[in-house]
Amino acid sequence: MSKFLSFIFLVPSFLSFGQSDSTFIRTVYNEALSHGHAYEDLRSLCKDIGARITGSAEAEMAIQWGKRKMESYNFDKVYLQEIQVPHWERGTTEAGWIKYSDGSMSKVNLLALGGSIGTNGLMEAEVIEFSSLEELKNLKSDKTTKGKIVFINQPMDEQQINTFKAYGGCWPMRGLGAIEAAQHGAKAVLIRSLGLPVDEHPHTGGMYYTDTVQKIPAAALSTLDAEKLSTSLKKEKVQFVLEMDCRDYPDKTSYNVIGELKGSENPNNIITFGGHLDSWDTGEGAHDDGAGIVHCMEALRILKTMDYQPKNTLRLVFFMNEENGNRGGKGYAEWAKEQTHEKHIAAVESDRGGFAPRGFSCDGSEEQVLFLQSLEKHFSQYDLHVFEKGYGGVDIGPLKTQFEEIPLFGFVPDSQRYFDFHHAPSDVFENVNKRELELGCAAIASFLYLLDQNL
């Protein structure tokens, strides 16, 4: 560990915070709750721009929206960082039907997984159900799956209190299901949506292919339709009819949007914070990650409004392409490394929805986690209690490869409702609570202030 970071993080017990810190933080919360811009900014992003899948016209308009917003708040510097991004489109709306042995049919709600190939017209085949990806992997013979449509019906674990742990337990089904099903000769793969409620909203999300295995179409059924299909399969053999018109296009030029408040004492010391500007092309990307975008922009606006002069440079980044490639996060980290005069001392990300704040997690050393825990006392009256070792975020993650000792901090809101909306048509502005969103903005602004004062 460098001498600089050793001094910062090896002596958290010696840090002292005066009364001025609590007064400052109280003022931050007052500004966010009584004069906040976050809710209106989120409304504008969701309604004036809409869903923002990488490579789309909406993503391009979101870049313009973000730059204009930052400029309107008079940040010291606002600029774009060019990157190359993938461009995938789902095309004509997907369609799917359960076809019973008597010839009757039942239409289902489904979405192609991001990056999937299309079906090249209507595809029909018998459905074979598996309770998990592991059950499919352990299949001894391909006779039951060859030429069929594999259906992986693994529900998220409702007994997990932290719903992100439940999500992590099911993610391989979505990410790797097409590869595993194709290896067993399947024509396509269907998965149960990664969502906790049993409802009609399918949840999309990224998935992978490999060059050594044939690509097959991949789609997610709503949890309600997954249960309907599973119930039917217990009674009889059924066929599934599927049509998807997905397609890939050449990479496109896009941008991360960046705004800064310049450090007054250590301008070359950078604290990066932000979320991702892109979203999936269903719903409006309100919680994922419109909320994170406005959390961080509002945090910087509040500090600017309070005439706060940071010691270190506070750099706000709207990352592009987190959902299907993380080109924005990787490109930013590589670009940051090239700025040889810069020293990256911390990074913060908000990408877990606009729900009531619960605290912050730290992807860092034991000493860095102890430093995070030393900040808890400032937040107890604001109902924040999670200050622990954990995850930083997808967008800021690549900074670890370029700056090994950098601590990555993740904003932690309440997780109970996040997977009601994640990657689903229901992720719309109306499902974000104004006060909870504003409390998150205040928490992040206060956290940035404490980082800046003590790093």
Question: Which residues are catalytic, by number?
Answer: 322
For 51-73, the pLDDT digits (tens) are: 999 999 999 999 999 999 999 99
Domain ranges of the chain: 3-88+250-454, 91-245
pLDDT in tens, 223-268: 999 999 999 999 999 999 999 999 999 999 999 999 999 999 999 9
Give domain 3-88+250-454's CATH number out of 3.40.50.920, 3.40.630.10, 3.20.20.140, 3.40.50.300.
3.40.630.10
Residues 6+ apart with CB under 8 A from 149: 123, 125, 126, 127, 128, 186, 187, 188, 189, 190, 240, 242
Supply the pLDDT for residue 245. 97
The stretch 380-397 carries a mean pLDDT of 97
CATH hierarchy code of domain 91-245:
3.50.30.30
Whether 455 has a pLDDT exceeding 50, the answer reads yes
- Percentage of residues of the chain with pLDDT beyond 90: 96
The tens digit of pLDDT for each residue in 161-184 reads 999 999 999 999 999 999 999 999
pLDDT greater than 50 at residue 194: yes
Rounded to a whole number of angstroms, the CA Rg of the chain reads 23
Range list of β-strands (E), 100-199: 105-107, 110-112, 123-130, 149-152, 188-192
pTM of the model: 0.94
Average of per-residue pLDDT across 345-374: 98
Residue 1 has pLDDT above 80, yes or no: no
Q: What integer best gives the mean pLDDT of the chain?
A: 95
Looking at residue 19, its pLDDT comes to 55
| Lateral strand order in the sheet of 105-107 | 105-107, 95-99, 239-243, 123-130, 149-152, 188-192, 218-221, 110-112
Tens of pLDDT, residues 323-356: 999 999 999 999 999 999 999 999 999 999 999 9
Q: What percent of the chain has pLDDT over 70?
A: 96
Instruction: Give dist(CA 11, CA 13) in Å, integer.
Output: 5
Spatial neighbors of 289 by CB under 8 A, at least 6 apart, are: 275, 276, 277, 279, 322, 350, 351
Residues 359, 376: Cα–Cα separation, whole Å: 8
Q: Is the pLDDT of residue 9 over 50?
A: no
Q: What is d(CA 243, CA 69) in angstroms, rounded to the nearest whole number?
A: 40
* pLDDT higher than 80, residue 13: no
